[in-house]
Amino acid sequence: QSALTQPASVSGSPGQSITISCTGTSSDVGGYNYVSWYRQHPGKAPKLMIYDVSNRPSGVSNRFSGSKSGNTASLTISGLQAEDEADYYCSSYTSSSPLYVFGTGTKVTVL
Amino acid sequence: QVQLQQSGPGLVKPSQTLSLTCAISGDSVSTNSVAWNWIRQSPSRGLEWLGRTYYRSKWYNDYAVSVQGRITINPDTSKNQFSLQLNSVTPDDTAVYYCAREENSCHEYWGQGTLVTVSS
């Protein structure tokens, strides 16, 4: 099972919106509505931002939203803030081993 | 609030066994609706799911094929924790190891991470 494909970097100015894509296959992203997104600051553990494609855990800002079309999922961050500067990873449940596959990661830079 | 506290050595010699423990507070390792996972992260492999243990009237395990045969994840109900053992390690197993709680097909709670270096 290969890692999900994400752009290496995305940038935006404060207040703008950005979108990060996550491309997999019909065996993972396309086959299940079990896509999640994580934010990771340097030296810290990942933090869950979106689960089941588009659901936000309690406490996560509504500036974060998720969607999916076919084998590609997307994370949109609106109203970009300095604290959003971090690495972002998507993850999907898969039909075989490993049960979960992660994306290659996207570095978000707030200009 | 669920909290996961990891412990274990940060340096392991090649061919030896990597052992880490994840202590759980705010939940039970025997909770029926969740699973307890180990995930690692390295520059070369990125984030990699290793395996999980969970209780559904009895204990089950799932492991990634990449480490199958070398990995064991065990629950310890008396201490409310779970552990990771990875045998016959090589420098390629050098990574930050995380424990994580899985519910609703995602990982909301993570341990603080343990950098494990495999070196003689």
For residue range A33-70, list pLDDT tens digits in order: 999 999 999 999 999 999 999 999 999 999 999 999 99
For residues A2 and B15, what is the distance between their CA atoms, to the nearest angstrom?
A: 27
B95-103 and B35-42 beta bridge pairing: antiparallel
CB atoms inside a 10 Å sphere around CB A34 = 18
User: Taking a C-beta distance cutoff of 8 angstroms, is the pair B48, B39 a contact?
Assistant: yes
Contacts of B111 in chain A (CB under 8 A): 45
Contacts of A102 in chain B (CB under 8 A): 46-49
Mean pLDDT, range B1-29, rounded to an integer: 97
Task: Judge whether B48 is closer than 8 Å to chain A, CB to CB.
Answer: yes
For residue range A71-106, list pLDDT tens digits in order: 999 999 999 999 999 999 999 999 888 999 999 999
- State the first-to-last Cα distance of chain B, in angstroms, to the nearest integer: 39
Angle subtended at Cα A37 by Cα A35 and Cα A42, rounded to the nearest 5 degrees: 150
| B47 contacts A105? CB cut-off 8 A | yes
